[in-house]
């Protein structure tokens, strides 16, 4: 944690900021190790202070490293005027513009009238995009749990089983094998509902000849995996096979192309070109993927407009999909590490079409 804080402190000096207030909990966790739900950090070029309330006193003592810990009122913002780094001083105080509501901004202005509030963007996210060895290890562990659950859950996918029951079984097994609560609701979408990219589980019962899309991931020490597979219940028909193989082809092409110094939008274009050539471009309406880490939708976004240059150490999903209304859909998603020479697929779950 100390190295992360020092890197950020150097940025503060360059940005002419006296202090940076960090309130977005994933960023708080990245800099401190704290996994609670009420905490913030104040960083100056020389000091780093972690704030929480009495309920998290012991947790902070156990988790927070390399920052001074201060226990304050439950409403952390109301305690800011009493903090020596801030009290009665005319300073340039940076805040996370993407993560602070307008109402909270107004409250901050009234509490700290002598501070010049300076909006900042992605100061910490600039670092979190590239994972260190420890972070990659945690993601690998989460991926292994996720792969295991996928291989076991196939026996539960049968006609008459509801999507909700299947979702509950997935989440039970994730926790059984060491995952904390997933960051997103498990997606189980069958039949025509598989055309919904984020079709969370419903009361619908799986039927013979359905395509079933599953999207879930384990979380280990805050770091997430993200897996999507689409399977066929019974023997797939000609169109189901055609669409599935198209999505698989697009995904394989993108994985092979992924490498450092490549723009995220260019990687998206690799898969999109395959789907466009087959005449299905209008059915692929989302980006190719996204970073994963302490957020399930982390930076960088891999979409048609993002000019971000890929770098070794980034971990992202590659997940093309085709979604046809009133018919169904297919998505295939792997977690991929950008390496110094190309990419490594972390996900090991079977990708060829499974017919149950």
Taking only the tens place, the pLDDT of each residue in 87-110 is 766 899 999 999 999 999 999 999
Q: Is the pTM of this model over 0.85?
A: yes
Residue 178 has pLDDT above 70, yes or no: yes
Lowest-confidence segment of 89-93, 104-108, 152-156, 222-226 by average pLDDT: 89-93
Which segments of the chain does DSSP mark as H helices, in order?
Answer: 2-14, 25-32, 57-63, 76-79, 102-111, 125-128, 133-153, 163-176, 238-257, 264-277
Q: Check residue 1 and give its pLDDT.
A: 76
List the domains of the chain with CATH numbers: 2-127 (3.40.350.10), 133-345 (3.90.230.10)
Q: Check residue 96 and give its pLDDT.
A: 96
Choose among 328, 355, 333: nearest CA to 217.
333
Q: Check residue 90 and give its pLDDT.
A: 83
Q: What angle do CA 152, 156, 160 make, to 5 degrees?
A: 170
Q: Check residue 190 and give its pLDDT.
A: 98
Computed over every residue of the chain, the mean pLDDT equals 95
Q: Check residue 88 and give its pLDDT.
A: 65
Cβ count within 10 A of residue 248? 18
Average pLDDT over residues 20-41: 96
Lowest-confidence segment of 7-21, 136-150, 206-220 by average pLDDT: 7-21
Which tokens is 324 given?
């046809």
Q: Check residue 184 and give its pLDDT.
A: 82
Tens digit of pLDDT for each residue in 229-273? Answer: 999 999 999 999 999 999 999 999 999 999 999 999 999 999 999
Cis bond before residue 121 (omega within 30° of 0): no
Average pLDDT over residues 46-67: 95
H or E, element range at 230:
strand 227-232
Residue 275 has pLDDT above 70, yes or no: yes
Q: Check residue 183 and give its pLDDT.
A: 78
Residue 3 neighbours by CB under 8 Å, 6+ apart: none
Q: Check residue 2 and give its pLDDT.
A: 82
Average pLDDT over residues 64-89: 89
More confident residue, 317 or 122: 317
Residue 195 has pLDDT above 80, yes or no: yes
Yes or no: say if 225 and 292 are a contact pair by the CB < 8 Å rule: yes
């Amino acid at each position: 944690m100390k190295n992360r804080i020092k890197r950020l402190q150097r940025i503060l000096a360059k940005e002419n900021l006296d202090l940076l207030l960090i309130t977005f909990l994933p960023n708080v966790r990245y800099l401190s190790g704290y996994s609670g739900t009420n905490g913030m950090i104040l960083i100056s070029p020389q000091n780093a202070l972690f704030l929480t309330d009495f309920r998290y006193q012991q947790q902070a003592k156990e988790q927070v490293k390399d920052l001074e810990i201060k226990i304050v009122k439950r409403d952390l913002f109301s305690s800011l005027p009493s903090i020596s780094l801030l009290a009665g001083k005319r300073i340039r105080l940076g805040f996370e513009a993407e993560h602070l509501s307008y109402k909270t901004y107004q409250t901050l202005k009234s509490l700290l009238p002598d501070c010049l509030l300076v909006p900042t963007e992605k100061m910490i996210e600039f670092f979190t995009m590239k994972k260190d060895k420890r972070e990659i290890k945690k993601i690998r562990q989460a991926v292994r749990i996720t792969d295991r659950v996928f291989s076991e859950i196939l026996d539960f996918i049968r006609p008459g089983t509801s999507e909700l029951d299947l979702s509950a079984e997935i989440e039970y097994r994730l926790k059984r094998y060491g995952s904390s609560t997933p960051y997103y609701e498990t997606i189980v979408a069958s039949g025509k509902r598989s055309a919904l990219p984020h079709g969370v589980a419903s009361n619908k019962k799986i039927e013979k000849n359905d395509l079933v899309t599953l999207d879930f991931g384990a979380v280990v020490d805050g770091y997430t995996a993200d897996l999507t597979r689409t399977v066929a219940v019974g023997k797939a028909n000609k169109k189901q096979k055609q669409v599935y193989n198209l999505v698989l082809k697009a995904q394989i092409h993108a994985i092979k192309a992924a490498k450092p110094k490549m723009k995220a939008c260019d990687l998206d274009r690799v898969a999109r070109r395959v789907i466009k050539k087959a005449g299905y471009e209008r059915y692929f309406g989302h980006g190719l993927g996204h970073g994963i880490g302490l957020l399930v939708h982390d930076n960088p976004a891999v979409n048609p407009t993002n000019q971000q240059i890929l770098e070794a150490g980034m971990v992202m999903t590659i997940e093309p999909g085709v979604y046809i209304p009133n018919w169904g859909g297919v998505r295939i998603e792997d977690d991929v590490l950008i390496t110094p020479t190309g990419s490594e697929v972390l996900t090991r779950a079977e990708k060829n079409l499974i017919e149950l």
